[in-house]
Structure 1
Amino acid sequence: MVTADVQRNDRTIMVASCYVALAAALAAADAAVIRLLAGEVHPFVIGFFRSVFGLAVILPLIATRPHILKSGYRFQHVSRAALKLAALVCYFVAFAAAPLADAMAIMFMTPIFLMIGAWLWLGEAFTLTKLFAVVTGFLGALVIIQPGAAGAVAPALLFALGGSALQALVQLMLKRMSDKDNTETLVAWNLIVTVPLAAIPALFFWATPDLRQFLLLALQGVMGAINMTLMTKAFSMAEASHIAPMDFLRLPFVAVMAWVLFGEVAGFSTWIGAGVIFLSTLAVAGGGRLKRRAQAAAERDI
């Protein structure tokens, strides 16, 4: 029997995993919207409208609960928003130019980069299990990217890889910042700061969207705000390695949408590469749960 604390912790992880699963569905829909806008709206302009509509979603919350703007951080919000915007633009480029399933599968490298970042910046132990996960994760990415195969490596997939690394940095910052700021504060400040940051590059590529584009951008902004809230809440409730596996639901979700909307069928290498990355991070998550239960059992026997 495990202790009550461990059972409570497992329930918390389950709830956080549900948040991540819902966010995965929204992320797949987001990718489909980006593809629909591909070639019509520049990625920087998409990033600007995403932040504007996302901010519009939470403005009523800020108006009724202005105390959520009280934060224990200042400059960290700016750096986090800049990194998040850069990651989003990388993803937008990837979704517009590469097969959706391939780009989404490469994005699963975020937990791998997260392990490396936690070791470098947070001082977390880098075990043999994590080393195995990192090595196999990159092997999985190589299967998808296929360097040396006929034709050059698709630059869009490299953008997806870069976006994954940037997103890992954002999640590391979230883990630290959630110690002082709650979910609403983190989401509100991210959107408030991102709007002016995104406006600067968007001005250089500006083209006023038509009604269809405007509605798609609005939909994307709403989904993005909800997605950010869900993921921020999930990462404030549980360790990233424990909830990361649920994020892999994005691949079947986006594969179905790509097939229905665009006639894209995910290739064999996509599923194999994504499966390798998934198993590598799953091994770390499973090992963490076993270690936690073993520690609880040892404490009970003392």
Structure 2
Amino acid sequence: MSSPEKPPRRTTDLDAPLDAAASRERLVGIGLMCAALLCFSGLDASAKWLGRDLPTLQVVFARYLGSVILIGVFVNGLTTPGVARSNRPALQVLRSLFLLGGTLLNFLALRWLQLAETMAIMFSTPFIVALIAGPLLGERVGPRRLAAIVVGFLGVLVVVRPGLEGFQPAALLSLGAALSNALYGVTTRMLAGTDSSRTTLVYSGLVGVAVTAPIAPFLWEAPPSAFAWLVLGGLGAFGAVGHWLLILAHARAPASVLSPFFYTQIVWMLALGWFVFGDLPDAWTLVGAFIVVGSGLYLIARERARTRKG
């Protein structure tokens, strides 16, 4: 009889050799990360498609309601006793409001911008996090990281092109969404040491529904087709499954290993933009996205180097 397989060996040294089980775990984590990003891309594509006929707030409400229903089946007071109990409830609500604001602004921007354009601008989120993490979390930004942040924002300006003929005001909505998502990311890190990921996941959906539910009935318009109803119902599934896959991915691989794959989402967005809407980004959008991605990967490399030294 063969000996039982050893559990994956966890290590903080990212360059240390891994046994077969640990390597397999990391590959599974990367696969889950890419699948999560595909779900998020499907969420944005669905929101853009629905936004042609339905009010944006109605689409946002459907996204949160579907997510709460789906998550509630698996994460509730019976399966996870005390899941709604938070050690910092005010911060949980604030974090959820940042997420809601980012979702609303992003869905609004998608009414006028291509998927790839909004994604390229949203890639500025890590740079904003790096800037605001200093005063909020006490994390120092060194000169190299600051230079990478500046270059990354220059890439965003290439995509947005303010003051030029190609500028679209809706790009400002995407920038606002990136800021909201950055604040959401920072507050998520502040909660990581006090609340479980399941509690944080539950709060995200409940706050979104609580804010949008009183307004949505006054704006409600019937979806124009059975397929539109199906897409509207699928919004919550895309969001809930995407976030759950993200949690599973981080349970199997370090964040520094998974982070570079965040930028593969541009591939999904380009593919869906072309397949669903027939959109192809112009050269400036691609150049800007390349600059932003390159700067983001440099920031990740610097973070890995700092982790190894620590």
TM-score by length of 2: 0.85
Q: Take 1:235 and 1:181, find their aligned partners in 2: how far apart are those partners?
A: 16
- Name the CA shift for 1:107/1:236 in 2 (closer, same or farther; >3 Å): farther
Q: Take 1:173 and 1:45, find their aligned partners in 2: how far apart are those partners?
A: 26
Task: Please report how far the alpha carbon of residue 240 of structure 1 lies from its aligned counterpart in structure 2 after TM superposition.
Answer: 6.5
Cα RMSD (Å): 2.6
Task: Please report how far the alpha carbon of residue 202 of structure 1 lies from its aligned counterpart in structure 2 after TM superposition.
Answer: 2.4
- Aligned: 1:50 with 2:66: no
Q: What are the Cα deviations for residues 122-141 of structure 1, in whole angstroms up to 9, with x where unaligned?
A: 11011112111211111001
Matches within 5 A, 1:204-243: 204-210=218-224, 211-231=226-246, 243=258
Q: Take 1:264 and 1:96, find their aligned partners in 2: how far apart are those partners?
A: 13
Runs of at least 5 residues in structure 1 that lack an aligned partner in the other structure: 296-302
- Among candidates 289, 295, 298, match of residue 274 of structure 1: 289
Partner of 1:26: 39
Partner of 1:118: 133
Q: Take 1:241 and 1:106, find their aligned partners in 2: how far apart are those partners?
A: 22
Mean alpha-carbon deviation: is it higher for 86-95 or for 205-214? 205-214
Task: Please report how far the alpha carbon of residue 71 of structure 1 lies from its aligned counterpart in structure 2 after TM superposition.
Answer: 2.1
- Aligned: 1:165 with 2:179: yes
Q: Which amino acid aligns with 1:48?
A: F
Q: Take 2:130 and 2:249, find their aligned partners in 1: how far apart are those partners?
A: 17
Matches within 5 A, 1:137-176: 137-150=152-165, 153-176=167-190
- Aligned: 1:186 with 2:200: yes
Partner of 1:134: 149
Q: Take 2:215 and 2:99, find their aligned partners in 1: how far apart are those partners?
A: 15
Partner of 2:79: 65
Whether the 8 Å CA contact 2:57–2:212 is kept in 1: the answer is yes
Partner of 1:106: 121
Q: Take 2:283 and 2:184, find their aligned partners in 1: how far apart are those partners?
A: 31
Mean alpha-carbon deviation: is it higher for 191-200 or for 87-96? 191-200
Q: Which amino acid aligns with 2:162?
A: P
Task: Please report how far the alpha carbon of residue 234 of structure 1 lies from its aligned counterpart in structure 2 after TM superposition.
Answer: 5.8
Mean alpha-carbon deviation: is it higher for 221-230 or for 137-146? 221-230
Task: Please report how far the alpha carbon of residue 18 of structure 1 lies from its aligned counterpart in structure 2 after TM superposition.
Answer: 4.4
Whether the 8 Å CA contact 1:101–1:251 is kept in 2: the answer is yes
- Among candidates 210, 216, 226, match of residue 202 of structure 1: 216
- Name the CA shift for 1:219/1:46 in 2 (closer, same or farther; >3 Å): same
Runs of at least 5 residues in structure 2 that lack an aligned partner in the other structure: 1-9
Partner of 1:299: none
Q: Which amino acid aligns with 1:89?
A: L
Mean alpha-carbon deviation: is it higher for 240-249 or for 52-61? 240-249
Q: Take 1:117 and 1:16, find their aligned partners in 2: how far apart are those partners?
A: 28
Q: Take 2:159 and 2:99, find their aligned partners in 1: how far apart are those partners?
A: 24
Q: What are the Cα deviations for residues 140-166 of structure 1, in whole angstroms up to 9, with x where unaligned?
A: 011111122225x21221111110110
Partner of 1:89: 104
Task: Please report how far the alpha carbon of residue 201 of structure 1 lies from its aligned counterpart in structure 2 after TM superposition.
Answer: 3.6
Partner of 2:4: none
Partner of 2:13: 6
- Name the CA shift for 1:118/1:183 in 2 (closer, same or farther; >3 Å): same
Matches within 5 A, 1:68-79: 68-79=83-94
Q: What are the Cα deviations for residues 16-46 of structure 1, in whole angstroms up to 9, with x where unaligned?
A: 6544322221121112111211221111111
TM-score by length of 1: 0.87
- Aligned: 1:264 with 2:271: no
Mean alpha-carbon deviation: is it higher for 283-292 or for 17-26? 17-26
- Matched positions, count: 292
Task: Please report how far the alpha carbon of residue 109 of structure 1 lies from its aligned counterpart in structure 2 after TM superposition.
Answer: 0.7
Task: Please report how far the alpha carbon of residue 15 of structure 1 lies from its aligned counterpart in structure 2 after TM superposition.
Answer: 6.3
